[in-house]
Amino acid sequence: MVCCSAPGKVILFGEHAVVYGKPAIALSVNKRISSIMSWGDKKTTINHMELDEEKQPFLVRAIEKTNIKKPLSVTTESDLPSGAGMGSSAALTVSLLGSLHALKEEDTENETIAEEAFDVEYDVQGSASPIDTSTSVHGRAIFISDREEKNLLWSISKGDKLWNIHHMDLPDMKLVIGHTGIHAPTGPLVKMVGEFYNANNFAKEVIDEIGMVVLKGKKALNNGDLEEVGRLMNKNHKLLRILGVSHPRLESLVRATRKHSYGSKLTGAGGGGAMISLTDKPEKVADIIEKRGGEPYTFKPSKHGMRLEEKG
Ligand code: MEV
């Protein structure tokens, strides 16, 4: 029996634009998914149900990636809400791939798992960037850019896009997540932005502007200037709203939390899902989120990315 766990993430800056090769910053959170795996009997099962491609596209693709033909018995455990913008599908994919390689007794590099997990997400979603999967594999905070900078982990290109994946240090800061309770899968939202992007130049300009906000955000984070970080988070949110990925429930949480925050924005794919607030008063902000019908999560950044918990 093997068990691999992987953390979820929140995106501080740059979601959606990163799909088009723009920079982005994300951090892993101390909420994880574990995949417990052993060789199965006659058919592959997940959580005691027979594997169904429609319901479990990530597992089906992850098995294909590792070229395993024998039946498997898979159980997953999670403290990450799904469809909440916290990278649950990336954490699931990473933990599945980690367990599949461990079951084959392969000593696989983190970079290989990150690359395979990105491919799986790309296939299932129809398009993607490596931000969620690489944050889940490597842990801490991740900066993605089309340029190579210090603390480079690895690079990947697809078509005309190049993503260089780096670790980055963040200043001490308190973040609160507010889950709207609306389950919003990433694939359709990425597709919707893609249609907007292909239809007109205005969407391309918005995506370019998000890229510039991310670079300013990185500078403000490096300087520990939380007021500037907050202002840029607000600006990033406004641009995401223009792209059409906000939701009235997100707007309500973002607006209400700003009074007690440096800044608030949606995080992840949007369309429901979650928002994030940078604040010195996490309890107050969590209270506001709850009063507005959202579910607050205070969390700590996770130092650890993917982790093999049991091996053999
Ligand atoms: C989702 O967490 C982030 C998106 O940018 C999609 C992706 O990068 O694959 C919306």
User: Does the pLDDT at position 312 exceed 80?
Assistant: no
Question: 3-class DSSP state for residue 285?
Answer: helix
Cα 210 from chain centroid?
A: 17
For residue 120, what are the contacts with CB-CB under 8 A and spacing of at least 6? 58, 61, 62, 65, 93, 97, 133
Ligand 1 atom nearest the C-alpha of 17 is: 5
276 lines ligand 1 (CB under 6 A): no
Beta carbons within 10 angstroms of residue 231's beta carbon:
17
Q: Give yes or no for a contact between 303 and 169, defined as CB atoms under 8 angstroms apart.
A: no
Average pLDDT over residues 137-156: 96
Distance 226 CA to ligand 1 centre (A): 24
Q: Name the phi and psi angles at 73, rounded to 5.
A: -115, 115
**Quick check: CB of 94 below 6 Å from ligand 1?**
no
Q: Are 205 and 243 in contact (CB under 8 A)?
A: no
Task: Map tokens 């909420």 to a residue.
Answer: 31
Average pLDDT value for the chain: 95
Residue 69 Cα, ligand 1 centroid: separation in angstroms? 31
Residue 203: CB within 6 Å of ligand 1?
no
Residue type, 226: L
Average pLDDT over residues 12-38: 97
Mean pLDDT of 148-159: 94
Q: Is residue 272 exposed (0-12), middle (13-18) or buried (19+ Cβ within 10 Å)?
A: buried
Ligand 1 centroid from CA 225, angstroms: 26
Residue 217: pLDDT band with limits 50, 70, 90:
very high
- How sure is the predictor about 134, in pLDDT bands with cuts at 50, 70 and 90? very high
- Does the structure show a pLDDT above 80 at 230? yes
121 Cα nearest atom in ligand 1: 9
Q: State how far the Cα of 301 lies from the Cα of 68, in Å rounded to an integer.
A: 34
Q: Please identify which residue in the block is written with the tokens 């973002």.
A: 254
Coil, helix or strand for 228? Answer: helix
Specify the residue with its C-alpha closest to ligand 1, atom 9. 128
Q: Pick the catalytic residue: 41, 107, 132, 280?
A: 132
pTM: 0.96
Q: Pick the closest to residue 237 from 204, 262, 260 (CA basis).
A: 262
